[in-house]
Amino acid sequence: MRNYFSGIVGNQKLTERLSMDIEENKIPHALIIEGDTGSGRHTVVKYFAAALSCERRNGSEALPCRKCPSCEKIFGEKSPDIIKIGLEGEKTSIGVDAVRFMKTDIFVEPNDLKYKFYIIEDAEKMTVQAQNAFLLSLEEPPPYVVFILICNNSSLLLETVRSRALTVRTERLSPQIMRDYLLTESKEAKSLFQTSGDEFEELLLSCDGSIGRALMLLNSKERKKLFSDRDIASKIISLAADRDLKKAFDILSALGQKRQEICQRLLLVQTAVRDLIVLKKCEKPELCFYTDTEKAGEISTHFTLSSLFDIYGAAAEAVDCLEKNANVRLTLLNMFIASKLL
């Protein structure tokens, strides 16, 4: 089978499925691409659109060629036949007006590509009314129209929408695939690896299998914030082991005032505790926070399983309360007391 996604890292099941459809000329008129932010969803869209539009399809080389006028327009984001629909301004949902535009525009034939692509960003944020209005276009679009819905969670779409589209999901990449890609493609990654291998490994774990997130974290400002958050999470774990009252209030203050920032730090605490629990239960654990298994194993000896579950549960409950707009200081105090940090 011809390779239509040579520039995609990982995601073998997804690319094989779409390649087969292209090879057999069974092009879905609607495609849902589900996955985490930064997992390559937009890159898949570009390659899919370019593979269908490449002007060298009759040749023997891998597609898309990325050199013909159609490919250059698609990868350069200059094609008038790729229309993006999404959140506008400060709106938190996609309403009926966006769908009405599509309903009219789909009957205008493509300018210079074989297909006309409508890419709906954050598709799960379409209102119920918008999704119902979209069904009419989705059921019987013109033969040259392809709808692509990009979302984090396709289950938030109406079943009537999902049943009329092919759903594929981007996968989290393994640390080894991430490492190989970054060291091959990113000068910043190479530099970090050479100057601080430990920080590079911490970054790999923190990007959660997302190349997009990894590239973002290579920015010095973002990386500084990441390591600050990880340091606070590590201090909370350390505090749970020695229960130093002065340190407890220092860390309580260091957690910050902003809800989102605090939640991110507490989620890191949960990840660290998860590692310590796994270390007590498995011989060859796959860690998500600690880069040094031996060091993490030593830390885990300071806790019982029961105490680790208490810390994890207290952090999880605090995140839930903060997301429900509970008082920040009171929530954190309750968490510290419940997890016996105070």
> pLDDT tier at 230 (50, 70, 90 boundaries)?
very high
* Cβ–Cβ < 8 Å for 189, 182: yes
Residue 89 is predicted with a pLDDT of 81
DSSP one-letter code for 122: T
Over pLDDT 90: what percentage of the chain? 70
Nearest-angstrom CA–CA distance, 256 and 254 = 5
Give strand ranges (E) for the chain. 30-34, 82-85, 116-120, 145-151, 166-169
Nearest-angstrom CA–CA distance, 301 and 295 = 10
Residues 310 and 180 in one domain: no
Checking if the pLDDT of 248 tops 90, the result is no
Nearest-angstrom CA–CA distance, 289 and 317 = 20
Residues 29 and 144 in one domain: yes
pTM, entire model:
0.80
Nearest-angstrom CA–CA distance, 121 and 128 = 16
* Cβ–Cβ < 8 Å for 72, 53: no
Q: Any idea what the CATH number is for the domain that residue 273 is in?
A: 1.20.272
Element (H, E) at 260: helix 259-281
Does residue 304 sit within a domain?
Answer: yes
Give the model confidence (pLDDT) of 45-99 as tens digits.
999 999 999 988 776 677 798 899 999 999 999 999 999 999 888 888 999 999 9
3-state secondary structure of 140: coil
Over pLDDT 70: what percentage of the chain? 98
Nearest-angstrom CA–CA distance, 63 and 47 = 9
**Residue 193 CA to its chain's centroid (Å):** 23
* Cβ–Cβ < 8 Å for 33, 148: yes
Q: How do strand 166-169 and strand 30-34 relate by DSSP bridges?
A: parallel
Residues 188 and 213 in one domain: yes
Residue 59 is predicted with a pLDDT of 67
pLDDT mean across residues, the chain: 91
Residues 123 and 233 in one domain: no
Q: Please count the structural domains in the chain.
A: 3
Residues 16 and 153 in one domain: yes
Domain of 206 in residue numbering reads as: 174-218
Give the model confidence (pLDDT) of 127-139 as tens digits.
999 999 999 899 8
Q: Any idea what the CATH number is for the domain that residue 79 is in?
A: 3.40.50.300
> pLDDT tier at 247 (50, 70, 90 boundaries)?
confident
Residues 146 and 193 in one domain: no
pLDDT higher at 61 or 310: 310
Does residue 143 sit within a domain?
Answer: yes
Does residue 20 sit within a domain?
Answer: yes
